[in-house]
Copies of this chain bind each other. A is one copy, B any other.
Amino acid sequence: MPADLSLNQNVINMDYAVRGPLYHKASELRKQGRTVIPCNIGNPQALGQTSVSFYRQVLSLLEYPPHINRERTLKGQIRPDIDSQEWIPDYILDFSEDFLAKMETGMGAYTDSKGPLFIREAVSRFIDKRDGVTPGNGVPSIPDHVFLTDGASEGIKCILELLIADENDGVMIPIPTYPLYSATIARLGGKQINYYPDEESGWTLTKDSLEESLSKARRDNVNVKAIVVINPANPTGAILDRKSILEIIEFAGKNGLAIFSDEVYQDNLYGSEFLSFAKALGDDKNIPLFSFHSASKGFYGECGHRGGYFEVRNPPGSQGSNPGFIDILFKQASVNLCSNTTGQALIYLLSSPPPEGSEPYDQFNREKQGILADLYEKAGMIKESFKEMDGVECFGKVGAMYLFPRFNTLPAGKTDFDYCMSLLEETGLTTVNGSGFGQKEGTHHLRIAFLPPKDTLEDVLPRWIEFHNNYVRG
């Protein structure tokens, strides 16, 4: 008798536009030999962004420690009349040796399921430094409340899974949203509650609009547990202003919600100031806060290595209702054994940049500033070209790695998905349609990652402008 192998409907139902039909079409075109420019995803090194030398030199030594001492020996052995090779600075040799001494069991062993304590301590120091916490001033990060994860995604899924206890549980997410949230909530069988940042005022937020979404959900008997904020935002690239952040905190406090603060783009602000939710929350002891960061974005862009962490403040257990919240998170992490050690090492590196005056500092800083300046310049080039496209507007400060222009006039019957598909077919430029992220009804957008090399942009932008104006003029 054949068993019924029907599949989990929640998994079948979930959507994931970033690697949906446009991604598949792009793969197909590439197989046909066409040039495709993958701006559908924030994957900088796939578009030629170089890795940070300091990070990679350390990773290289961690994988093969005999080369730490060999490097020291070789430095003394090369004949002076031979061109100096680019030796690895002593600072980096010492740094790698020190890392391995603290790691104890090297890169090939499972670590503590939360990640090694010394890395979580470095993360806490990084957070405190970023937020200006000093002894007696501000609330210090607690290393035992930090978990290292395979990218930020894993941590987000883990906490959503813990909070969505039944089909009536809901989580508020911004629209447009990063589809990890909508997909995971769907997979867990929970309720997605939309809230709408105001596009024309630069994707800012008001308590009123949040209250409106919440009230509607509660009228529908949804038990709303948390609100997700992505800052800088994905897909819009917008940077949340201080006032919006404080309104969200007040709103969460008043309504007993936990906050998910997705801050993986915290280094992609291009001159704007970053205010973390941890800092804005201050000494509030009531609002559970889950903050996420990763090694995938910023100037480091090490997506493939899947390094991430999350930090918990005011774990729900501390209010007495859910004893042992951190212990339950630990148990969840244990089933996966541990996150990958290369990603862990990158999180340590991200938390421990070379100090001013150290041997690798100048190169590190030059690379960092160079990558960020380049990204900002490329965003500017794309924004400029919107001016030449009929009926295209783009709101908000430039942050993250994305622009999210609005199309005020599409031909009758055409959707932004149709637009993106035609754009891909005609120019090779791969973007994601706004509807893939959710958007206010009746609006049309696309998301473009501002990552391709400048000469690629110089080539494709005029072709996009031409495509666009032909498309909308019909």
Which residues from chain A sit less than 8 Å from chain B, CB to CB?
A: 1-9, 11-12, 14, 16, 18-19, 41, 43-46, 51, 56-57, 59-61, 63-64, 66-67, 70, 73-74, 77-79, 82, 85-86, 105-111, 113, 150-151, 153-154, 157, 161-165, 179-180, 183-184, 187, 223-225, 254-258, 288, 301-306, 316, 319, 321-322, 325, 328, 330-332, 334-343
Contacts and interface: CB of A to CB of B under 8 A. Distances in A.
Given A60-B60, A73-B85, A322 B6 contact: yes
Nearest to A184: B335
Given A14-B331, A43-B109, A154-B336, A5 B342 contact: no
A331 to B, nearest CB: 6
A7 B159 CA distance: 10
Nearest to A158: B11
A258 B303 CA distance: 34
Closest 5 CB pairs of A and B: A2-B256, A60-B64, A304-B341, A19-B334, A46-B109
B4 A223 contact: yes
Contacts of A334: 16, 18-19
A63 B66 contact: no
A341 B342 CA distance: 9
A316 B45 contact: no
Q: Point out which of A9, A328, A335 has the most chain B C-beta atoms below 10 A from its C-beta.
A: A335
Contact of A106 (B45, B224, B288): B45
A66 B255 CA distance: 54
A5 B305 contact: no
A257 B3 contact: yes
Contacts of A336: 150-151, 153-154
22 contacts: A2-B319, A3-B223, A3-B224, A3-B257, A5-B225, A5-B316, A6-B165, A7-B328, A11-B331, A19-B330, A45-B109, A46-B110, A60-B61, A66-B86, A74-B74, A107-B304, A108-B304, A151-B337, A153-B335, A304-B338, A340-B340, A340-B342
B256 A1 contact: yes
